[in-house]
């Protein structure tokens, strides 16, 4: 029997060891070209294989020239040679499966799973070889179960971490590049390993978190939502004192934030401003925006604050600082008169913009102004409600309002009122409940006049009743048109026919004749 026959004998393979060796080297080279990132593993695999092959050459020499096949030198050399060669082959096959075949069908196995499969293959190989060498496996399995139990007990924590790592990788609940918060730490996931996960914080620090902690506690994955871009909401607070209306502050700030894009601030949802609290001398506001680059919290906050500051300055508002102010005001007669004078002038100016009262003399207008009461409304508030009893006549001074009427269980817009408009006259002049609901479309300022003062004016100036009855008839026809679906022509006819009738009713109601 030649030496080469002894080598084949030791290898125990059906294709000759030379064929296997050449085939494996060729496959290794090919794989190294296809999967260059796995070159190290292929190289290590081939080295293992060649070491095993060298061992087989030695075993064959022991067979031929040494103590023979029954010697323990031969058996041990052969066992380890086959083990080394097997490990080498498993590694190369592993690269083929996990780096070439699975990615080709778009399956990406987690690193830990790959390692586990390889480890299982090594164990199966070792046991198979032992079995073929005639080693009593039952004994080994029994002892190894005891040893495993002992090791498992003493390595509880480590195993917990490993299982945690395994679950993290398999379920992909956290991935590299995610921003997470665990306890007091917040950072970007850099690495998920068997035992621990590493995050890098914005402070340039690295936090190493045992995987078992990630599995036991809550982990906040920042800015992640299914099928949505990654962005997280941030709050920037500021204070403005009570001289400025909340609606005006939020509008000025929102306009400035949305005008030109700010780097790393999402356009959708758009940044917005809300009033969060009233304190002793100022209101607290917050700008809320969605940050797209989660690393840049402070710089983007700063950018947003700069915009807020500039917007407030432009609008003639300034930031307020938490302060306790004590106002000493001497309530003397001249101050009171000055204040009343200013108020009266504001009302007179507002009346100048109301067409209905254009014919009033200066004296009449001054009397009327003295009876007006200012009533501000925030956007969305109802100024009058359909069906309620009418107490006031309204003049819209600032902002816009919409008139809505109830139709088929819902409401429908009838008209939009702008500054200078009079409303609430229908209920007041006919004694009927409010015919529609008027809602502030923006923050709005109204002046209102009570029924007595209004009656006074009508009695003194009956022509105002006439002019009002025209608009009243038209408005009523518009309401009917929405409620009953009238055509444009039918609406006009109804307005014309209703006018005289209304005027009569109004005169009777106010006993004007």
Integer-rounded Cα radius of gyration of the chain: 44
Enumerate residues 65-104 that contact ligand CMP by CB under 6 A: none
Rounded CA-CA distance 274/272 in Å is 7
The sheet carrying 382-384 orders its strands as: 382-384, 437-440, 401-407, 410-417
Q: Report the candidate in 37, 38, 48, 20 with the shortest Cα–Cα distance to residue 95.
A: 38
Does 506 help bind ligand CMP (rule: CB under 6 A)? no
Query: Which range binds ligand CMP by CB under 6 A, 85-93, 100-108, 111-119, 422-430?
Result: 422-430
Does 498 help bind ligand CMP (rule: CB under 6 A)? no
Closer residue to ligand CMP in complex, CB, 335/413: 413
Q: Report the candidate in 219, 226, 248, 238 with the shortest Cα–Cα distance to residue 288.
A: 238
Rounded to a whole number of angstroms, the minimum distance from the CB of residue 468 to ligand CMP is: 10
Rounded CA-CA distance 446/435 in Å is 19
Rounded CA-CA distance 157/153 in Å is 9
Rounded to a whole number of angstroms, the minimum distance from the CB of residue 443 to ligand CMP is: 19
Enumerate residues 366-405 that contact ligand CMP by CB under 6 A: 384, 390, 403
Rounded CA-CA distance 198/209 in Å is 6
Residue 424-463 contact track with ligand CMP, rule CB under 6 A, x = bound: xxxx------xxx-x-------------------------
Closer residue to ligand CMP in complex, CB, 165/424: 424
Q: Report the candidate in 83, 114, 115 with the shortest Cα–Cα distance to residue 98.
A: 114
Rounded to a whole number of angstroms, the minimum distance from the CB of residue 482 to ligand CMP is: 8
Rounded to a whole number of angstroms, the minimum distance from the CB of residue 475 to ligand CMP is: 4
Rounded CA-CA distance 501/496 in Å is 10
DSSP string, 77-138: HHHHHHHHHHHHHHHHHHHIIIIIIHHHTT----HHHHHHHHHHHHHHHHHHHHHHTT--HH
Rounded to a whole number of angstroms, the minimum distance from the CB of residue 508 to ligand CMP is: 18
Q: Report the candidate in 157, 159, 161, 210 with the shortest Cα–Cα distance to residue 185.
A: 210
Contact 129, 89 (CB under 8 A): no
Rounded CA-CA distance 40/32 in Å is 9
CA-angle at 10, arms to 4 and 16, nearest 5°: 55
Rounded to a whole number of angstroms, the minimum distance from the CB of residue 477 to ligand CMP is: 8
Enumerate residues 188-227 that contact ligand CMP by CB under 6 A: none
Sequence-separated (6 or more) residues with CB below 8 Å from residue 482? 405, 407, 412, 414
Rounded to a whole number of angstroms, the minimum distance from the CB of residue 276 to ligand CMP is: 34
Rounded (10°) CA dihedral 406, 408, 410, 412: -60
Closer residue to ligand CMP in complex, CB, 198/430: 430
Query: Which range binds ligand CMP by CB under 6 A, 59-67, 110-118, 195-203, 420-428?
Result: 420-428
Contact 420, 396 (CB under 8 A): yes
Rounded to a whole number of angstroms, the minimum distance from the CB of residue 368 to ligand CMP is: 18
Q: Tell me the residue ranges of DSSP E strands in 217-293.
A: 220-221, 232-241, 272-278, 282-291
Closer residue to ligand CMP in complex, CB, 63/475: 475
Residue 478-497 contact track with ligand CMP, rule CB under 6 A, x = bound: xx------------------
Rounded to a whole number of angstroms, the minimum distance from the CB of residue 389 to ligand CMP is: 10
Query: Which range binds ligand CMP by CB under 6 A, 54-62, 225-233, 473-481, 484-492?
Result: 473-481
Closer residue to ligand CMP in complex, CB, 56/439: 439
Rounded to a whole number of angstroms, the minimum distance from the CB of residue 390 to ligand CMP is: 5
- Give me the residue whose beta carbon is nearest to ligand CMP: 427
Count the neighbouring beta carbons within 10 Å of the beta carbon of residue 38: 20
Closer residue to ligand CMP in complex, CB, 89/396: 396
CA-to-CA separations, 454 to 104, 357, 362, 459, in angstroms, rounded: 85, 12, 17, 9
Closer residue to ligand CMP in complex, CB, 61/382: 382
Closer residue to ligand CMP in complex, CB, 78/404: 404
Query: Which range binds ligand CMP by CB under 6 A, 135-143, 237-245, 417-425, 492-500?
Result: 417-425
Does 475 help bind ligand CMP (rule: CB under 6 A)? yes
Rounded to a whole number of angstroms, the minimum distance from the CB of residue 342 to ligand CMP is: 29
Give me 23's structure tokens: 């085939």
Rounded CA-CA distance 140/266 in Å is 62
* Angle (deg, nearest 10), helices 72-95 and 3-11: 60
Q: Report the candidate in 402, 392, 404, 401 with the shortest Cα–Cα distance to residue 444.
A: 401
Query: Which range binds ligand CMP by CB under 6 A, 173-181, 190-198, 317-325, 421-429?
Result: 421-429
Query: Which range binds ligand CMP by CB under 6 A, 124-132, 276-284, 343-351, 471-479?
Result: 471-479
Closer residue to ligand CMP in complex, CB, 239/400: 400
Task: Tell me the site size for ligand CMP, rule CB under 6 A.
Answer: 17
Rounded to a whole number of angstroms, the minimum distance from the CB of residue 402 to ligand CMP is: 9
Closer residue to ligand CMP in complex, CB, 222/481: 481
Rounded to a whole number of angstroms, the minimum distance from the CB of residue 408 to ligand CMP is: 18
The residue ranges that bind ligand CMP (CB under 6 A) are 384, 390, 403, 414-415, 423-427, 434-436, 438, 475, 478-479
């Amino acid at each position: 029997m030649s030496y080469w026959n002894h080598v084949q004998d030791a290898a125990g393979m059906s294709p000759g060891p030379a064929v296997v060796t050449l085939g494996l080297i060729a496959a290794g080279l090919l794989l190294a070209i296809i999967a260059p990132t796995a070159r190290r593993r292929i190289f290590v695999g081939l080295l293992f294989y060649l070491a095993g092959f060298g061992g087989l050459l030695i075993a064959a020499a022991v067979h031929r020239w040494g103590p023979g096949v029954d010697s323990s030198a031969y058996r041990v050399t052969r066992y380890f040679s086959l083990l080394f060669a097997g490990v080498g082959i498993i590694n190369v096959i592993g690269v083929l499966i996990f780096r070439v075949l699975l990615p080709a069908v778009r399956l990406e196995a987690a690193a830990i799973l790959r390692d586990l499969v390889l480890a299982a293959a090594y164990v199966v190989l070792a046991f198979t070889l032992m079995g073929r060498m005639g080693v009593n496996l039952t004994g080994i399995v029994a002892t190894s179960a005891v040893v495993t139990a002992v090791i498992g007990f003493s390595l509880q924590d480590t195993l917990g971490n490993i299982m945690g790592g395994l679950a993290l990788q398999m379920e992909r609940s956290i991935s590299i590049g995610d921003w997470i918060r665990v306890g007091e730490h917040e950072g970007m996931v850099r690495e998920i390993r068997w035992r621990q996960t590493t995050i890098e914080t914005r402070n340039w620090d690295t936090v190493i978190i045992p995987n078992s902690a990630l599995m036991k506690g809550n982990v906040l994955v920042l800015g992640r939502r299914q099928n949505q871009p990654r962005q997280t909401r941030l709050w920037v607070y500021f204070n403005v004192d009570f001289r400025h209306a909340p609606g005006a502050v939020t509008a000025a700030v929102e306009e400035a934030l949305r005008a030109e894009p700010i780097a790393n601030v999402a356009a959708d949802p758009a940044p917005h401003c809300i009033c969060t609290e009233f304190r002793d001398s100022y209101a607290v506001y917050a700008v809320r925006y969605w940050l797209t680059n989660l690393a840049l919290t402070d710089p983007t906050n700063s950018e947003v604050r700069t915009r807020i500051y500039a917007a407030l300055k432009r609008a003639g508002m300034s930031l307020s600082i938490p302060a306790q102010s004590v106002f000493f005001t001497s309530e003397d007669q001249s101050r009171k008169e000055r204040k009343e004078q200013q108020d009266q002038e504001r009302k007179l100016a507002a009346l100048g913009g109301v067409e209905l009262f254009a014919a009033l003399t200066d004296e009449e207008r001054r009397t009327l102004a003295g009876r007006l009461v200012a009533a501000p409304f925030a956007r969305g508030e109802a100024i009058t409600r359909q069906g309620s009893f009418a107490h006031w006549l309204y003049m819209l001074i600032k902002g816009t309002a919409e008139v809505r009427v109830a139709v088929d269980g819902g409401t429908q817009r009838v008209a939009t009122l702008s500054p200078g408009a009079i409303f609430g006259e229908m209920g007041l002049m006919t004694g009927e409940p409010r015919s529609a609901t008027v809602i502030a479309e923006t923050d709005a300022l109204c002046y209102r006049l009570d029924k007595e003062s209004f009656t006074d004016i009508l009695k003194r100036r009956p022509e105002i009743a006439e002019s009002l009855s025209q608009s009243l008839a038209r408005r009523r026809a518009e309401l009917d048109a929405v409620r009953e679906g009238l055509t444009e022509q039918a609406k006009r006819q109804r307005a014309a026919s209703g006018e005289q009738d209304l005027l009569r009713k109004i005169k009777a109601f106010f006993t004007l004749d």
